[in-house]
Amino acid sequence: MQNKKAGHSVQVRTLTRALIWLIVMSLPSFSLAEDNILFIGNSYTYGDSDPGMNTEKSGGVPGIFSALARAGGQGNPVVIMRTAGGEDFKFHCQSDATKSAIKSQPWTYVVLQDYSTEPTHYVDGKHSVANQIKYGTKLYAEIKDNNPKTRVILYETWSRPVANEKYIRGISTSNSFASTAEMQRELHNNYLQLANLMNSNNSTSPEVVIAPVGDAWQNFGGLLPSTNSGFVNLFKSDNYHGNDNGYYLAAAVFYSRIYGVSPHGLSQQPAVAALHLNFTVTPVLLEDVAWRTVTNNLVGMAPQIGRMENWITGNLTQQLEPLSQQPSIMLKTSDERPRMNGNVPAS
């Protein structure tokens, strides 16, 4: 009987690995020779945070992504960002600097990140889901006019935390959310709606995909009450921007999404260690949750909030075979962003 159980266990593990491998093989293998990536967004992209945090000094989320790519043997991607604190898709549609950035190269990928409450029901007199769709599709059209082969990635952001009582009030009104789950669900659904619209209207173009950063924050426990044993702090002290934990998780999601391989262990490589990010959690856990969020997001099996410890078990991330080795490419990381009187506006 014991041998039968052991044999059954081996079969289950083998089938599980086979299933994970099928999921991995279904991931789009985006990386091509001479990849170049443009990030368009605001302070959620350039990584505004508290003193002592090093994301912004490292070139923001794009800079961390670039370090992960080098650490993972993916070559040296050309990574550039065009950001403006507190701005949205409409701003970038009307910005000559953003238009110039889009036209400056035949981008392999362009990442689009909107104002943090625009893809929700929150009413502030300026932002709306309608504007996300209107100006998001305009940006998409400009990107495609520049290079029809560019792959567009939508940067799904995160809910305000429970501690932000201006937004998370326990009741859903025109200017509040009943819970972090409500806000994150709206962010997820409205970025997905935008991606589906872009794809349905441009069926012959490369598929628009989502980098589920906000979902990864939720899966890691960042959106739980601080009194919950599963809570992990991913936020800046202002309770809406990130800290180094949160931004590293975001960059790991982009690495997983673009290269289709796990970033497991890359924080231990010199290219990433040299950033001196101020982690307060084990970075390998951030890497594993990023990978599992991306793979599970594709098949609709994201775990319940607070169940991270039961979700990233075993050594499956170490046992997955990598996809084909990506060719080497140039490295260039730059950042341009306007500031307002030295302060960083809300994003």
pLDDT of 21:
44
310 vs 243: which has the higher pLDDT: 243
Nearest Cα residue to 41 out of 107, 127, 110: 110
Q: Can you tell me the mean pLDDT for 3-9? A: 47
Q: How far is CA 302 from the centre of its chain?
A: 15
Q: How high does pLDDT run on average in the chain?
A: 84
Return the pLDDT at 31.
Answer: 47
The SS3 assignment for 7 reads: helix
**CA distances (Å), origin 334, targets 35, 40, 153, 214, 319:** 16, 12, 19, 24, 35
**30-34, 100-104, 265-269: which has the minimum mean pLDDT?**
30-34
pLDDT more than 70, % of the chain: 76
pLDDT of amino acid 136? 98
User: Phi and psi of 334, rounded to 5°?
Assistant: -140, 170
CATH 1.20.120.330 fits 32-336, yes or no: no
Domain residue limits, the chain: 32-336
Inter-CA distances, 16 with 8, 174, 309, Å: 12, 44, 18
Which positions ≥6 away from 31 have C-beta within 8 Å? 74, 75, 258, 259, 326, 327
pLDDT one-digit tens code per residue, 248-259: 999 999 999 999
DSSP 8-state secondary structure symbol assigned to residue 173? B
Picking from 63, 3, 48, the residue whose alpha carbon sits closest to that of residue 241 is: 48
- pLDDT value for 297: 72
- Integer Cα distance of 293 and 264 in angstroms: 13
Tokens (6 digits) for 336:
């341009």
Give percent of the chain with pLDDT exceeding 90: 74
Give yes or no for a contact between 253 and 224, defined as CB atoms under 8 angstroms apart: no
3-state secondary structure of 211: strand
For residue 32, what pLDDT is reported?
Answer: 41
Classified as helix, coil or strand, 27 is: coil
Distance CA 321, CA 21 (A): 8
Q: What is the mean pLDDT of residues 267-291?
A: 98
- More confident site: 10 or 49: 49
pLDDT tens profile 17-29:
444 444 444 455 4
Condensed to tens digits (0 to 9), the pLDDT of residues 141-192 reads 999 999 999 999 999 999 999 999 999 999 999 999 999 999 999 999 999 9
- Compute the average pLDDT of residues 337-342: 34
* DSSP 8-class letter at 343: B
